[in-house]
Amino acid sequence: MVNTKVTLSGLTLDNPIIPASGTFGYGYEFAELYDINILGSFSFKGTTLEPRFGNPTPRIAETPMGMINAVGLQNPGVDKVISEELPKMREVFHKPVVANISGFCIEEYVECCKKIDKEDCVGIIEINISCPNVHGGGMALGTSPEMAAEITRAVKAVTTKPVYIKLTPNVTNIVPIAKAVEEAGADGISLCNTFLGMRIDLKTRKPVIANKMGGFSGPAIFPSALRLVYLVYEAVDIPIIGIGGVSSAEDVIEMMLAGATAVQVGAANLVDPFACKNIIEELPAVMEKYGITDLNDIIGGAH
């Protein structure tokens, strides 16, 4: 028997597999296909204070080994998420979830977090300061160590749940930002959000997506995301959720060896809705193949 359980800030997960925000909705569509309670947890759709329609279409562009999206945080706003989406979610998922929160200024993050912190189904609050698809917020707030720390302190002051800061890879050096949010009180780090990318239509000679650029995700970014997890693990003493191109049980092991305690699976869910289920089912055999009896023994094992 192998042990797949991991712990994030006192929250024990049956396995380290967490569908990433924006790729799993609120879970109930996937629950029609399989019992999503096999997941460690999942991060629900990015939530803002006010409702957002998102960016103009087209919003998606395919690319070899990945995709580019510029959805733009489309969501019904935190009040409707709490009153309409979470009750439906509770019917199909009976474990604590990760609440992904976005904003355009510190006050919006604070107000959203105050509201979501009261929900008993929320185990971790994930602060998205790294979305590349919105203007005037998101990634703009996550590229400065000082601003990242300020948001972290403000959110921690109004919450009781563990707070994980989701960082952007679109910076010259991620380590000072990771250190800044740790010093400001972050309980963990989600690493990383999408890389910036674009496609151009050869017939129209224009960018494929209306936003021109968007978030590049999928298997192609895995080596770059792995590198960032490795660097940040050496710089901080708080847990890391590794994100970026994870699409197999082998990827999970590799990400954990780099320093992740858990992983999020994003674009793979959009290619195959059973991606997380398959990874969870394959994980014990892959652990046995590499002589791993307890996942906790390999966290940071490549250092």
Q: What residues are labeled active site?
A: 131
User: Rg of the Cα trace of the chain?
Assistant: 18
Residue 121: helix, strand or coil by DSSP? coil
Would you state the structure tokens that stand for residue 29, as one six-digit string? 């569509």
DSSP 226-244: HHHHHHHHHH-SS-EEEES
Give the span between the Cα atoms of 134 and 70, in whole angstroms.
8
Burial class (CB in 10 A: 0-12, 13-18, 19+), 125: buried
Give the span between the Cα atoms of 163 and 293, in whole angstroms.
29
Give the span between the Cα atoms of 90 and 227, in whole angstroms.
36
- 8 Å CB contact between 122 and 114: no
What distances in angstroms separate CA 296 from CA 15, 255, 259, 278, one per listed residue?
A: 11, 13, 11, 21
Residues listed for the chain: 303
- 8 Å CB contact between 164 and 191: no
Give the span between the Cα atoms of 47 and 61, in whole angstroms.
23
Would you state the structure tokens that stand for residue 75, as one six-digit string? 């969501």
Give the span between the Cα atoms of 72 and 194, in whole angstroms.
13
